[in-house]
Amino acid sequence: MSPHLLLVNPSAGGGRARKRLPEAQRALDARGIEHRVVLTKTLEHGCEEAHAAAAVGETVIVMSGDGLIGQIGGALAEGRGTLAILPGGRGNDLARVLGIPSEIDGAADVIASGGTREIDVGELNGKRFLCIASCGFDSDANRIANEARLVKGQIVYLYAALRALIEWSPARFTLTLDGERIEFTGYSVAAANSKAFGGGMFVAPDAELDDGQLDVVWITQVGKLRYLANLPKVFKGAHVENPEVVVRRAAEVRIEANRPFAVYADGDHLGDLPATLRVLPRALRVIAPA
């Protein structure tokens, strides 16, 4: 078995990844997975280490949340290396969609199997992501979730949504989907390479990681009480049946709005509007169940 680099974000999941590192090393050793460990200092440091590892033929295992996994995946795309995942963050949405178990032993079994698949990679103004890029109401909710210190675990996403809803006022968005211009007033726009974000919110339940398309999901204007009442539906993907939710597919999306919004992808602030998003089809090799 080829050697591996285990990249660990020590702050992921509120320090959860660092605490689970000894367990992860025991699991890899038990399966004969030769590896060395690097604790990342910044996203840039993690990407540099991943580039260097791939250049000498090492498989890169990332133990973190979706933020670092997304950036490392982007760095390894287009034939630069192979990504493996040990879930270590709060949301772990990419692992969830790929079918990688959340427990260390199960995820290590997947790595030991060595089975790979090729998945699409998203780009936002030239910066890469793997899961979902979103803005509008989601911008406010993501910021609140990332700033939360007293609220722990997946409940932070519900807390953030409730906090954001209190102060929300509608925005005017302009979308260009593969050249088609669409305008609407509402809450948010999500360009989804994957199905889920926010710790299991299936905002784009029909999105596929290898179809060369982004599922673009937007929510038009409805009352706050109706928005709140329908929020639980997102955890099953049933919200897309509502008339105020629109889903379209496109290989390239341009998003503009009548006021500034940050765009978050894989849980991190990746850019700002206006933004152009596109797909790199099957650009990343990842170790995952078939």
Alpha helices by DSSP H, 154-243: 155-167, 224-230
At 105, which helix (H) or strand (E)?
Answer: helix 104-113
Tell me: cis bond preceding 274? Omega within 30 of 0 counts.
yes
Three-class SS of residue 264?
strand
Rounded to the nearest 10 degrees, what angle do helices 155-167 and 137-147 cross at?
A: 130
- CA 150/CA 159 separation, integer angstroms: 11
Three-class SS of residue 237?
coil
- CA 13/CA 90 separation, integer angstroms: 5
Active-site annotation holder among 206, 215, 268, 272: 268
C-alpha gyration radius of the chain: 19
**For this structure, is 138 an active site residue?**
no
Contact 231, 203 (CB under 8 A): no
Alpha carbon separation from 272 to 84, 135, 185, 265, 277 (Å, rounded): 29, 9, 19, 11, 12
Contact 70, 129 (CB under 8 A): yes
Contact 75, 47 (CB under 8 A): yes
At 22, which helix (H) or strand (E)?
Answer: helix 12-30
Q: Which of the residues are catalytic?
A: 268
